A and B are shown apart, each in its own frame.
Chain A
Amino acid sequence: MKLSVINGSPRGAAGNTEKLLEHFIKGFIETGGNSVEKYYVFRSRPGFDNLKKVYLESEMLLIAFPLYVDAMPGSVKEFFESLEEMKGKRPDLKIMFVIQNGFPETYHNRFVERYCEKLVKRLGCIYTGSICKGGCEGLTVQPPALVEKVFNGFYNAGRSFGETGELNTEIITKLAHPEHLKPENLPQVIPMINNFLWDGMLKHNNAFDKKFDKPFE
Chain B
Amino acid sequence: MKVLILNGGADNPSLDSSIQDLKHKLSDKGVDTGELVLRDMKYSPCIGCFTCWVKTPGLCVFKDDGNVICREVLHSDFLLLASPVKTGYVSALIKNALDRIIPLIHPYLEDIDGEVHHMKRYEKYPVMGLLLEKGGDTDDEDITIISDIFQRAALNLRSRLSFVNLTTKPAEETANEIISN
Contact = CB atoms under 8 A, between A and B. Distances in A.
A13 interface: no
Nearest to A189: B116
A91 B141 CA distance: 21
Contact of B54 (A107, A122, A207, A214): A207
A84 B116 contact: no
A212 B54 CA distance: 11
A180 B114 contact: yes
A190 B116 contact: yes
How many of chain A's residues touch chain B, expressed as a range?
Answer: 35 or more
A217 B75 CA distance: 8
Interface stretch (A20-28, A32-40, A71-79, A158-166): A71-79
Nearest to A138: B50
B43 to A, nearest CB: 10
A122 B45 CA distance: 25
A111 B149 contact: yes
B62 interface: no
A118 B88 contact: yes
Nearest to A112: B149
Contacts of A80: 87, 89
B48 A73 contact: yes
A209 to B, nearest CB: 10
Contacts, number: 157
Contact of B149 (A71, A73, A189, A190): A71
Contacts of B55: 205, 207
A143 interface: no
A215 B88 contact: no
A173 to B, nearest CB: 20
Interface in B84-101: 86-89, 91-92, 95-99
A213 B57 contact: yes
B73 to A, nearest CB: 9
Given A10-B46, A10-B48, A105-B116, A115 B149 contact: yes
A99 to B, nearest CB: 12
20 contacts: A10-B48, A11-B48, A68-B48, A69-B98, A73-B48, A74-B45, A74-B96, A74-B97, A104-B109, A111-B145, A115-B89, A115-B149, A122-B88, A180-B115, A190-B111, A204-B54, A207-B54, A211-B57, A213-B59, A216-B75
Interface of A: 9-11, 15, 42, 45, 66, 68-75, 77-78, 80-81, 83-84, 103-105, 107-108, 111-112, 114-115, 118-119, 122, 180-181, 183, 186-187, 189-190, 193-194, 198, 201-202, 204-205, 207, 210-217
Nearest 7 pairs between A and B by C-beta? A74-B96, A201-B54, A74-B95, A77-B92, A70-B153, A78-B92, A70-B152
